Amino acid sequence: MDSDNHLNARRPEVIIEANIPFIRGILEPVADVSYLEPERFTPETVATADAIVTRTRVKCCEDLLGESRVSFIASATIGLDHVDLPWCRSHGITVVNAPGCNAPAVAQYVFASLLSLPDFGPLDGKTLGVVGVGNVGRIVADWGERLGMRVMRCDPPRALAEGATGFSSIEEIAADADAITFHTPLTRSGDCPTYHLCDDSLLAGMTRRPVIINSARGPVADNEALIRALRDKRISDVVIDCWENEPDISRTLLDMAAVATPHIAGYSRQGKIRATQMAVDALTAHFGLPATQWSEKMADGAKATISAGLIAASYDPMADTAMLRRDPASFERLRNHYHLREELS
């Protein structure tokens, strides 16, 4: 990598994933910028880059970056499971993400989906289990209570740090909830791995035949287990936005799910602007570049005015479901060219 003095003497070279919205023209005054489709990120194309701004389709690991001078990665997403964080840390690469950027949009998706299910009925009085109560899960839980639902929160790391009061186990949620929504990162090791957190064992304990919602990461829910649970009537419906093996998704689950969308739960205009702002602001701070002035400041989604009527009118998940069912092979195209919806304000 170049020395700091060498970098300070020139404009940083930044490669940006071409599908990131609201970013073109923002960094050009202070950096040498190029845009690439995800499949064009190769060891050759990133070799001279100082920084990468990306989303989840670019795998940032030794294979891509081992011979590069990249010192900074900004992911305009909440999740970072596409980044080999231990390798990046060991090689002095700073990695940042955009925590909470799409939380209000995901809450909008969750409740619009529940409201679209004819057999679920009014939200008021129903029990909602929220698994993972971080930036997104907090807002989902808050909206649930504001909509008259009884909310059960499951977050073992938070319960350990803050005390068990106010938290439920995932087994308690499985037994008591009318709908269970997952908002965890994807982890495969450690004290609380979330890979296949929703599996046959957990689904077997769901006594109230709940609706299962996955808008977290695809492998958090075992897709084959969801199919078995639907066939065995252990759950009533599935709302799925994040799939295993994207974009090569299960056609069986696509046909069986009540709501099936192409990983767009957080795709609001405001959420995308937040994510881009957070990525750009972190990059300019890292390289000591002039701060960028943003013309649009985002409101706090936790303070949005909500009601069942407003949510239902703001977004129709069945329209996105119909488009994906018509052409499942268009998953990536639908995702990359999604018409960004407006959040509730």
- Which SS3 state, helix, strand or coil, does residue 143 take? helix
217 as an active site residue: the answer is yes
**Is 333 annotated as catalytic?**
no
CB 38 within 8 A of CB 57: yes
Among residues 55, 57, 217, 274, the one annotated as catalytic is 217
What do you get for the CA distance between the two ends of the chain, in Å?
44
Q: Which of 138, 183, 196, 263 is catalytic?
A: 263
144-151 contact pairs (CB < 8 A, 24+)? 144/111, 146/306, 147/111, 147/123, 147/306, 147/307, 147/308, 148/123, 148/124, 149/123, 149/124, 149/125, 150/125, 150/126, 151/127
* Burial (CB count within 10 angstroms: exposed 0-12, middle 13-18, buried 19+), residue 229: buried
Please say if 246 is a catalytic residue. Answer: yes
Q: Catalytic pick from 246, 269, 286, 332?
A: 246
Q: Which residues are catalytic?
A: 217, 246, 263
